[in-house]
Amino acid sequence: MPDNLAASHANAHEDGKLPTDLRARIIAGAVMVLIALSLAYAGPTWFGLLVLVVSLVISWEWGRVVRGLSFDLAFFVHAAAVTAAIILAAKGYAALGLAVIATAVIVLVPLVFGRGARLSVLGVIYVGIPAVALLWMRGDEPYGFLAVLLIFAIVWASDTAAYAAGRLIGGPKLWPQISPNKTWAGLLGGLVASTAAATLFSFFIGGASPLGLALTGLVLGIVAQAGDLAESALKRVFGFKDASALIPGHGGFMDRMDSIVTVAVAAGLFVLAVDPHAPARALLFGM
């Protein structure tokens, strides 16, 4: 996720133009944001299609990273389970979707051996649970789109500000053994931005508490940064810089979705405790 682009300076032109890789990063990011917002707004079915495509790509990237394989038996079990869970969640059966994920975990245990075996099982959970959580919240009308938009706003604000603060301010490294480019300035910048984004969001929703959403933004901002570090640690263990090269300037979908994954799970757990019958409303208005 947000990293300093020290190497980019070497590619910068003397006329002040953006480095090529940074231009590609900005363009690809803008396209992804436009697609995500459009399909989330279009309704649960279209959003479910988006979640399905992204989830299948991440399932493929997960196998590539942890097993060094792409289209093996474990991938097809993983992909089939995720597809079934997403379809069920999109149809309003989130609990059944989670049951499918749990079943796939049990099935995968005897199928994968050697390095990455346990992480192959974890991959089904990593992809399936956040996908179900996002669709569960999106299906709660009339607040579903706003709940997903809040999650996007928190994560995107956190990522962008962490990248900008880390690059412009620099300073002490956050955890160089895991992610050499991340800094404490980036972490604090991301938390300030996620809190501010959620606070501003409250002013566009009648009845929402600015203080309540500010706290939500802060907590989910912390979760977003933790998800980023966790994915960096996974790649470092297996010797990968990026999960793939599918997105110009960004790497793979795992590299872009790591914060969304952890934030979706955290938000899902929160709304489950507050009001499982109205998850989107619970996220926006709390108690």
Bond into 142 cis (ω within 30):
yes
DSSP code at position 92: T
Q: What's the N-to-C CA distance of the chain in angstroms?
A: 32
Q: What is the DSSP string of 129-167?
A: HHHHHHHHHHTSTTTHHHHHHHHHHHHHHHHHHHHHHHH
Please report how the helices 210-237 and 44-66 are oriented relative to each other, as an axis angle in degrees rounded to 10. 30
- State how far the Cα of 65 lies from the Cα of 107, in Å rounded to an integer: 20
Contact between residue 198 and residue 158 where contact means Cβ atoms under 8 Å apart: no
The vertex-278 CA angle with 277 and 279, nearest 5°, equals 105
DSSP code at position 242: S
Contact between residue 229 and residue 182 where contact means Cβ atoms under 8 Å apart: yes
Amino acid, single-letter form, for residue 16: G
Domain extents for the chain? Answer: 19-285
pTM score, whole prediction? 0.90
From the list 61, 41, 70, the residue with the least C-alpha distance to 251 is: 61
β-sheet bridge partners, residue 251:
247
Output the pLDDT for position 181: 83
Output the pLDDT for position 18: 57
- State how far the Cα of 137 lies from the Cα of 223, in Å rounded to an integer: 18
Output the pLDDT for position 4: 39
DSSP code at position 172: S
State the burial class of residue 122 (Cβ atoms within 10 Å of its Cβ: 0-12, 13-18, 19+): middle
Dihedral-angle region of residue 3 (phi above 0 means left; psi in -120 to 50 means alpha; beta otherwise): beta
Output the pLDDT for position 17: 57
From the list 117, 118, 78, 70, the residue with the least C-alpha distance to 100 is: 78
- State how far the Cα of 281 lies from the Cα of 265, in Å rounded to an integer: 16
Tens of each residue's pLDDT in the chain, 287 residues: 444 333 334 444 444 455 667 788 889 889 999 999 999 999 999 999 999 999 999 999 999 999 988 899 999 999 999 999 999 999 999 999 999 999 999 999 888 877 678 888 999 999 999 999 999 999 999 999 999 999 999 999 999 999 899 989 988 998 888 888 889 999 999 999 999 999 999 999 989 999 999 999 999 999 999 999 999 999 988 989 899 989 987 889 999 999 999 999 999 999 999 999 999 999 999 86
